[in-house]
Homo-oligomer: A and B are copies of this chain.
Amino acid sequence: MIADAETLRCLFSPRSVAIVGARPKSSWANAAYRNLKTMGFAGKFFAVNRSGEEFQGHQSYKSCSAISDEVDVALLVIPAGAVSEALDDLAAARIGVAIIIASGFAELGPEGRVAETEVREKAARLGIRLLGPNCLGVANFVDSTGLWAGGVSPQKQGGLAIVSQSGAVAISIHRYAIQQGVAHSHMVSTGNELDIDVSDAILFLLQDERVRAIALFIETVRDTKKFEAACSAARTAGKPIVVLKVGRSEHTAKVAQAHTGAMVGDDRVFDAFCKQNGLIRVNSLDELVHTADAFLKAGPIAGRRIAAISISGGLSEVCADLAALAGLDLCDFSAETVERLREFLPDYAGVNCPLDLTGLATTQPDMGGRAVAAIAMDAGVDLVVYVFEVPESDLDASPFSEEMLQSVAEAARAAGKPVVVMSHQVKIVSNYAARIIERLELPYISGGLQFGMAALASIAAWRMNSRAIEDDGDRITQSEIARTTASKLTTEYRAQQFLKEFGVSVVPTYLAGSEKAAEEAASLLGDKVVLKISSPQIAHKTEVGGVRIGIEPDHAAAEFSQMIERVCLARPDAAIDGVLVAPMRSGGLELIVGVVRDPQWGLVLAVGFGGVFVEVIKDVSMRLLPVGSGQIRQMLNELSGARLLNGFRGNPPTDIEALVGEIQRICAAALSLDGLDTLEINPLRVSGSQIEALDALVVSTGE
């Protein structure tokens, strides 16, 4: 259930707070109290503890209900076992939201789970919303409030909101952001998410205009639909969510009957989710901060064409390599730009991108600003990066540093497109540096060329991707389609007939129940045929001698009998419907198209090329259903064999629109199946605009 606005206001921006269990010896309570002071909290504070001991100079209340004032939020710094009772007191005091710090719930196993359920149900009954347990609470730097029971360091206020399931990780992000001069607005840790979760936090924070980007750390997504809604709201707000999700190294491949099933793992599905929901996924805590920061400093970036400037040839080259590695395109300057640059560059300087201003810039520091201005006018440039470090102390500063930075800052403001200054390596932003940055209003990325270039590339891709998602309107969703039960489609033949109902092109296939029928079918098809056994009990036909290829029509009858005999011997248990007779196909591209159910995320579409691509390189691209044509086109582009679609070894170029349409129809078919585990077409044969499913397999969940 999405938390209501007033609850979240009380949680994120409380005007009056209570700490329950506020005893002088409680390190959590002391930390939370100290943080209120650090942040400059100006609201009302109430200490609650049963003993009535004084806390930090405050008279304590023995219960919340003893407080006569209204209290927005209570922080429960009490053992897990005492939480349930405390909720009654909160209800009596009409406190609508509580933060539970204690661990000792679900993470302890069955016993903890029972306690957790009890607390959840009681809170719901009493109308109290919960943050946690096993969390550290909320710090709101922009409103100088919040209850946070961990470490908080003083910092400037800025546009990054930190949302994390883990409290320790939130603190780590917070500290790193401070070291790197990335000012932030809020920090929230959601812990075990008994009630309020990261999606609630995101939905609330997005509405705050002071929040410009979200750094998210998650271990698991508990409510995928709510999470999707939060991502959608972020796109609408034009605010990126950068996410670090752990679990990349886990391989939860399930033992599956189909190729695609074996390749779907939690982590790859989450990757797919990120792609189709506009999340920027990163691998480390450093990347998390620097990627969000790149947006704070550069704002939305229209494309990948980057111009870079430095005052050293060596650094220019490092810059070029890292930009290319990140997937940015170093621009070529237009003739006009070259002319503008020639006006003030020394004759011996090469006028290329990245631009090396040469050592002359150290004696003529305003060359920095002039170069930015000249280059920003180039219509072929989406983004300008000036490679230079803000000194951390007098010792670190060159005589020309500030003058150069000032000229760059001024040119950046006038540029009309993103201009950032970027450090060489990760460079700390000391108080000394922060004063320069603030005075000059300098858009400074302190993450260095490696993190910085990767971050800018992600931000540019994010904007393009967000637009593509919004344009991808032709998704067919489950509700629009008539239902069938997957467990009925026990044979290839039935699966094929079902797919045909959805307009999927299936190779002409006859189910022959006799020698004569097999012969007739083969004659009708007119050329060499394939014979395949049809039995609900036999999924792997080849293993039981149930497949024969390249059969001449006049041998079909004999092959029919031999096959029945072989299969009956190998699988006396299996009921046999007959033998499928289909034409031999050769040439063309072979794709595998599968729809597989992920236990957490639901139906996943996987598309790959057959042969070595799927079997040796294990290359497939994935998206969650429903999926529109735009995303399917992207999936095809992501495949390492994508260029095969342009035509290869005598194959004609693929009719991409026809292929995308075919995959959409397969998805529609899958979405109409109740109890679907896997639907797989292997292969889907493609030759120009001729597309045909040569096989079909449906596996039900058995429910």
A residues within 8 Å of B by Cβ?
103-104, 107-109, 151, 153, 164-169, 172, 175-176, 179, 217, 219, 244, 246-249, 283-287, 289, 311-315, 317-318, 320-325, 330, 348, 359, 392, 395-396, 398, 424-428, 448-451, 611-613, 615-617, 640-641, 643-644, 648
In addition to A166-B314, A247-B321, A285-B448, 8 A-B residue pairs with Cβ atoms within 8 Å of each other are A108-B348, A168-B314, A172-B315, A219-B313, A247-B317, A285-B424, A616-B643, A616-B644
- 21 contacts across the A-B interface (CB closer than 8 A): A166-B313, A168-B315, A169-B314, A169-B315, A175-B396, A176-B425, A176-B427, A179-B427, A219-B314, A246-B321, A247-B321, A248-B325, A249-B320, A249-B325, A284-B322, A284-B450, A285-B425, A285-B448, A426-B426, A612-B613, A617-B617
Interface centre among A164, A175, A425, A451, by most B CB within 10 Å? Answer: A425
Given the known inter-chain contacts A312-B168, A617-B641, please indicate yes or no for A176 contacting B246, CB distance below 8 A.
no
Contact of A450 among B103, B104, B286, B640 (CB under 8 A): B286
CA distance A680 to B289 in the complex (A): 49
How many identical chains are in the complex?
2
Query: Which residue of chain B has the shortest Cβ distance to A641 in the bound complex?
Result: B616
CA distance A104 to B347 in the complex (A): 12
Cβ of B425 and Cβ of A289 under 8 Å apart? yes
Cβ of A179 and Cβ of B428 under 8 Å apart? yes
CA distance A244 to B450 in the complex (A): 13
Cβ of B176 and Cβ of A424 under 8 Å apart? yes
Query: Which residue of chain B has the shortest Cβ distance to A448 in the bound complex?
Result: B286
Q: How far is the CB of A101 from chain B (nearest CB, A)?
A: 11
Query: Which residue of chain B has the shortest Cβ distance to A166 in the bound complex?
Result: B314
Cβ of A324 and Cβ of B249 under 8 Å apart? yes
Cβ of B424 and Cβ of A172 under 8 Å apart? yes
CA distance A644 to B151 in the complex (A): 54
With a cutoff of 8 Å between Cβ atoms, the chain B residues found around residue A244 in the complex are 318
Cβ of B283 and Cβ of A325 under 8 Å apart? yes
With a cutoff of 8 Å between Cβ atoms, the chain B residues found around residue A167 in the complex are 314
With a cutoff of 8 Å between Cβ atoms, the chain B residues found around residue A219 in the complex are 313-314, 317
With a cutoff of 8 Å between Cβ atoms, the chain B residues found around residue A247 in the complex are 317, 321
Query: Which residue of chain B has the shortest Cβ distance to A172 in the bound complex?
Result: B424
Cβ of A314 and Cβ of B641 under 8 Å apart? no
Cβ of B644 and Cβ of A153 under 8 Å apart? no
Cβ of A648 and Cβ of B321 under 8 Å apart? no
CA distance A217 to B165 in the complex (A): 41
With a cutoff of 8 Å between Cβ atoms, the chain B residues found around residue A109 in the complex are 348
Q: How far is the CB of A96 from chain B (nearest CB, A)?
A: 28
With a cutoff of 8 Å between Cβ atoms, the chain B residues found around residue A449 in the complex are 284-285
With a cutoff of 8 Å between Cβ atoms, the chain B residues found around residue A325 in the complex are 248-249, 283
Cβ of B318 and Cβ of A285 under 8 Å apart? yes
CA distance A397 to B315 in the complex (A): 36
CA distance A289 to B425 in the complex (A): 10
